[in-house]
Chain A
Amino acid sequence: MGLDLRIPIGLMFSLVGILLAVYGFMTKANTEIYKRSLDININLVWGLFLLVFGVIMLVFAMKSAKQSKPDQQ
């Protein structure tokens, strides 16, 4: 099917990752809200991880689009 699924997956997780990471960065000084996550700023850490995951998906999608441009259906 014409749509490469890695593109929406990559875009969505990059977007969510950026949101989480930015929020995590802004609330860095706030120890109160991270008490429940065992004093780990889980939003920042996990947001960055999601961003990396999303970008990897996009890179793979772009690579295969370049490679198989002529015979892509």
Chain B
Amino acid sequence: MLLNAQVQLGNLDYAIMIIYVLFVLGIGWTLRRYMKTSKDFFQSGQSIPTWITGLAFMSANLGALELVGMAACGAKYGIATSHFYWIGAIPAMVFLAVFMMPFYYGSKARSVPEYLKLRFDERVRCLNSISFAVMTVFASGISMNALAKLLNQLLGWNYHFGLWICSGVVLVYVLKGGLTSAIYTEVLQFFMIVLGFAPVVYLGLQDAGGWGSIKTQLTQVASHPAALNLADDASKTFGANAWTSAWQPLLAGPANNPMGVDWFAMVFGLGFVLSFGYWCTNFLVVQRAMAAKNMNSARNTPLVASVPKMILPILVIVPGMIAVALMSMPNKDYRLPQAQIDSSKYPALTAIVQQAAGNPPTDAAALKTLVEKLNKAGDVGFNSAKVAELIKTSDAAQLPAKLQDAVANDYDGVILSLVKRYCPMGLLGLALTALLASFMSGMAGNVTAFNTVWTYDLYQAYMAKDKSDAHYMWMGRFITIVGILLSIACAYFARMYNNAMDIIQLVFGFVNAPLFATFLLGMFWSRTTGTGAFVGLLGGISTSALVHGMTLAEGKGGWLGVHLYNFPSTMAQNFWLASFAFIACFVLTAVISLSTAQKKTNDELKGLVYSMTPRLTDTGVAWYLRPAFLGTILLIGCVILNIIFF
């Protein structure tokens, strides 16, 4: 998230920021009276109204990194990014509401790992809770590092000051109000984001001449994406609708869409395995639904969340598309953000370019070597299509400008570049507070999920079994402080070892990929045994690691030294890897379950498995509030959206 120029905040901007902080602290302070038992602290006393749990459910995932990342994808891939929403999130959320929530909420489990313990055994819970606990700490560390960096680059705040102050605010309100605080501030953050970014998107749309004009511009961009550094190969062209249609470029094959993904990987890998795996099993989001006041409310939570989720692409993906359209209009004087080359690097870069000009690279491998040399000398990333062009320049005076133009786009800066372009003092404060809010509520969400899993699934399960409720409450508060300190440590770690962080996130990807197979079999097939689930999970995790180790994509993977296949993009690799992991886990779990004895009796499985649980009758609930009805409406809405943007 590199930003070239700082912005000047006025008193009004700071006032808005301070008002927000005071309100979240005030919410935490007011809620402290209601934190009497550990159930209040970890589960909000299961008393939260549906609209709040629903908005929090969606908002827990709408962290700042999601905002920044989706705008980046909007610029890189166009409207196809909406697949993350319309075939990814929504069907998974409907499935969770209609089919899975009855078992989570009905089983009286207090967390997702605890459900696994009830359904399978300690081993499965242990594997899930430890990996989840570590993952939440890292996720919150990564996001806090991004926040502190952003405050440093944008506002000139000291990195350490920004990191500790923001963490301190989160610490205070989570300590005071527990999960309720986190949920309430997530809802507040949701409104901040919508109301803070909507005017920016509106102004961007106006500036670019409306949606029709943006589509026309993107059609031109698609015919020569390398002109805007959107492709690495100067001769690359896409079909006219590559940025503006969600399905046609996908169906035309990986070479015809900027994502480089085939439709099967998209539908099965992303739409089924990854999305269902995230939305239906990740305790961070499921915890919100489990805090609802009754079964119907818990089931409706993901459905309430689906409504804003469905229209969110306007707020998060469209800005990226606006940015690309603006850049292709010369009179708008806009450029996708880039890292700036330090002026002291030019002599070294010029020398490399002049040397290459005498001996131009003849094939892709030689060009790649040249680009890597330039990257090292300039301490930035270069776009290879522009570099290939650049070495033909004979005029040395033009070289610095051409070199700067050849720097790869910093897509993560898109959203902020628009905020800076359109916001006067006042609105600027609102938009930046919205961003700050989403970073902080992201941390709070991770910390509350972490303290619950730690206290119930690790501490109570393995260290201190029969202590008083007050003791677990104390532990929850104590581990909240520890969790925040660990997050801060992770933020520093992420700041220093960027590459190590990439590897850690990769490993989490391996761990999460097969999870949904375990839940699917566990909930809907009573024959699934603990051993089957445990071995299946391990098998799925190793499968995804193996696939990653034996395939290549954009130079990534292949660390086993065997290259069986070359994926057109890392995204395709990621989707396929998840698909293989899911299938391996599914098959292994099924086969081993059939050959091992079921240790759980039918009575123990009641409320945990579909066939052993009495059908839920939605009597007493108006037909239009029943999950099955609402879910159907939402799915129809998704189909319509997919048809409109086909």
Interface of A toward B, CB cutoff 8 Å: 1-3, 5, 8-9, 11-13, 15-16, 19-20, 23-24, 33-34, 36-38, 40, 42-43, 46-47, 49-50, 53, 73
Interface of B toward A, CB cutoff 8 Å: 12, 15-16, 19-20, 23, 26-27, 30-31, 33-34, 44-45, 47-48, 52, 180, 184, 187-188, 191, 195, 199, 203, 206-207, 421-427, 430
Query: What are 13 A-B contacts with C-beta separation under 8 Å?
Result: A1-B31, A1-B48, A2-B34, A3-B31, A8-B26, A12-B19, A12-B20, A19-B19, A36-B422, A37-B423, A42-B424, A46-B427, A73-B47
Q: How many A-B Cβ pairs are below 8 Å?
A: 88
The verdict on A43 contacting B424 (CB below 8 Å), with A8-B27, A16-B16, A23-B12 known, is yes
In the bound complex, residues from chain A placing their C-beta under 8 Å from that of B12 are 19-20, 23
In the bound complex, residues from chain A placing their C-beta under 8 Å from that of B207 are 38
Cβ 8 A contact of A1, one of B45, B195, B203, B206: B45
**A12 with B188: CB separation less than 8 A:** yes
In the bound complex, residues from chain B placing their C-beta under 8 Å from that of A34 are 424
**B23 with A12: CB separation less than 8 A:** yes
Q: In the assembly, what is the distance between CA of A42 and CA of B199, in Å? A: 8
Least CB separation from B45: chain A residue: A1
**B424 with A33: CB separation less than 8 A:** yes
Q: In the assembly, what is the distance between CA of A2 and CA of B407, in Å? A: 54
**A36 with B424: CB separation less than 8 A:** yes
Q: In the assembly, what is the distance between CA of A9 and CA of B48, in Å? A: 16
**B27 with A1: CB separation less than 8 A:** no
Q: In the assembly, what is the distance between CA of A47 and CA of B184, in Å? A: 23
Minimum C-beta distance from A60 to chain B (A): 11
In the bound complex, residues from chain B placing their C-beta under 8 Å from that of A42 are 199, 203, 422-424, 426-427
**B426 with A20: CB separation less than 8 A:** yes
In the bound complex, residues from chain A placing their C-beta under 8 Å from that of B195 are 13, 49-50, 53
Q: In the assembly, what is the distance between CA of A34 and CA of B23, in Å? A: 29
Other 19 A-B pairs with CB < 8 A, given A3-B34, A16-B19, A23-B12:
A2-B31, A2-B33, A2-B34, A5-B27, A12-B23, A12-B188, A19-B12, A19-B16, A19-B19, A19-B426, A23-B426, A36-B421, A36-B422, A36-B423, A37-B203, A38-B206, A38-B207, A42-B203, A43-B426
Q: In the assembly, what is the distance between CA of A16 and CA of B16, in Å? A: 6
**B180 with A19: CB separation less than 8 A:** no
Q: In the assembly, what is the distance between CA of A38 and CA of B23, in Å? A: 32
In the bound complex, residues from chain B placing their C-beta under 8 Å from that of A19 are 12, 15-16, 19, 426
**B34 with A1: CB separation less than 8 A:** yes
**B426 with A5: CB separation less than 8 A:** no
Q: In the assembly, what is the distance between CA of A49 and CA of B195, in Å? A: 9
In the bound complex, residues from chain A placing their C-beta under 8 Å from that of B15 are 19
Q: In the assembly, what is the distance between CA of A39 and CA of B15, in Å? A: 24
Least CB separation from A12: chain B residue: B23
**A9 with B203: CB separation less than 8 A:** no
In the bound complex, residues from chain B placing their C-beta under 8 Å from that of A9 are 187-188, 191
**A8 with B33: CB separation less than 8 A:** no
In the bound complex, residues from chain A placing their C-beta under 8 Å from that of B203 are 37-38, 40, 42
In the bound complex, residues from chain A placing their C-beta under 8 Å from that of B34 are 1-3
Minimum C-beta distance from A26 to chain B (A): 10
Cβ 8 A contact of B425, one of A1, A8, A11, A33: A33
7 closest A-B pairs by CB: A43-B426, A12-B23, A33-B424, A1-B180, A20-B426, A3-B30, A46-B199
Q: In the assembly, what is the distance between CA of A1 and CA of B291, in Å? A: 11
Q: In the assembly, what is the distance between CA of A43 and CA of B12, in Å? A: 11
**A1 with B47: CB separation less than 8 A:** yes
Q: In the assembly, what is the distance between CA of A67 and CA of B424, in Å? A: 42
In the bound complex, residues from chain A placing their C-beta under 8 Å from that of B44 are 1
Q: In the assembly, what is the distance between CA of A3 and CA of B255, in Å? A: 54
Minimum C-beta distance from A37 to chain B (A): 5
Q: In the assembly, what is the distance between CA of A16 and CA of B44, in Å? A: 29
In the bound complex, residues from chain B placing their C-beta under 8 Å from that of A15 are 19
Minimum C-beta distance from B33 to chain A (A): 7
**B26 with A24: CB separation less than 8 A:** no
Q: In the assembly, what is the distance between CA of A19 and CA of B20, in Å? A: 13
In the bound complex, residues from chain B placing their C-beta under 8 Å from that of A40 are 203
Least CB separation from A34: chain B residue: B424
Q: In the assembly, what is the distance between CA of A73 and CA of B45, in Å? A: 12
In the bound complex, residues from chain B placing their C-beta under 8 Å from that of A24 are 426
- Which of A24, A43, A50, A53 has the largest count of B CB atoms less than 10 A from its CB? A43
The verdict on A5 contacting B187 (CB below 8 Å), with A19-B16, A37-B427, A38-B207 known, is yes
Q: In the assembly, what is the distance between CA of A17 and CA of B286, in Å? A: 34
Q: In the assembly, what is the distance between CA of A42 and CA of B300, in Å? A: 37
Q: In the assembly, what is the distance between CA of A24 and CA of B426, in Å? A: 8
In the bound complex, residues from chain B placing their C-beta under 8 Å from that of A12 are 19-20, 23, 188
Q: In the assembly, what is the distance between CA of A73 and CA of B36, in Å? A: 14
Q: In the assembly, what is the distance between CA of A15 and CA of B52, in Å? A: 22
In the bound complex, residues from chain B placing their C-beta under 8 Å from that of A38 are 203, 206-207, 422
Least CB separation from A35: chain B residue: B424
Least CB separation from A64: chain B residue: B49
Q: In the assembly, what is the distance between CA of A5 and CA of B27, in Å? A: 9
Q: In the assembly, what is the distance between CA of A38 and CA of B12, in Å? A: 21
Cβ 8 A contact of B422, one of A16, A33, A37, A47: A37
The verdict on A5 contacting B52 (CB below 8 Å), with A13-B195, A46-B427 known, is yes
Least CB separation from A32: chain B residue: B424
Q: In the assembly, what is the distance between CA of A55 and CA of B424, in Å? A: 25
Least CB separation from A46: chain B residue: B199
Minimum C-beta distance from A45 to chain B (A): 8
Minimum C-beta distance from B10 to chain A (A): 9
**A8 with B188: CB separation less than 8 A:** yes
